[in-house]
């Protein structure tokens, strides 16, 4: 049985010991707005009536924000010296 986006998101949350506030801040690093209630719906069991599936875009934005959170922002590219 394959892992769903929700499973991956839950495992990342546990592995990095992230709380809802941390996840909201991480998503804001990539200008992705998420609320605590949306996170609560994503982390519920599949048979719960308020369960929400974690889409690809949601997970992608979280992963991009997590990279910035862990590594820091990318440094600006260095300009190459002009050839004479």
pLDDT tens digits for range 26-84: 999 999 999 999 999 999 999 999 999 999 999 999 999 999 999 988 778 888 777 65
Give the whole-angstrom CA distance, residue 80 versus residue 68.
Answer: 25
Q: Is residue 80 part of a domain?
A: no
Domain count, the chain: 1
Domain that holds residue 49: 5-71
Q: Is there a domain that residue 14 lies in?
A: yes
Does residue 28 belong to any structural domain of this protein?
yes
pLDDT in tens, 2-42: 899 999 999 999 999 999 999 999 999 999 999 999 999 99
pTM: 0.81
């Amino acid at each position: 049985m394959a892992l769903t986006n929700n499973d991956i998101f839950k495992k990342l949350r546990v592995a990095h010991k992230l709380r809802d506030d941390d996840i909201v801040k991480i998503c804001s690093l990539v200008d992705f707005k998420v609320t605590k209630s949306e996170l609560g719906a994503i982390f519920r069991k599949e048979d719960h009536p308020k369960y929400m599936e974690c889409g690809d875009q949601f997970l992608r934005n979280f992963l991009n924000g997590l990279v910035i959170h862990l590594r820091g922002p990318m440094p600006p590219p260095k300009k190459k010296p002009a050839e004479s």
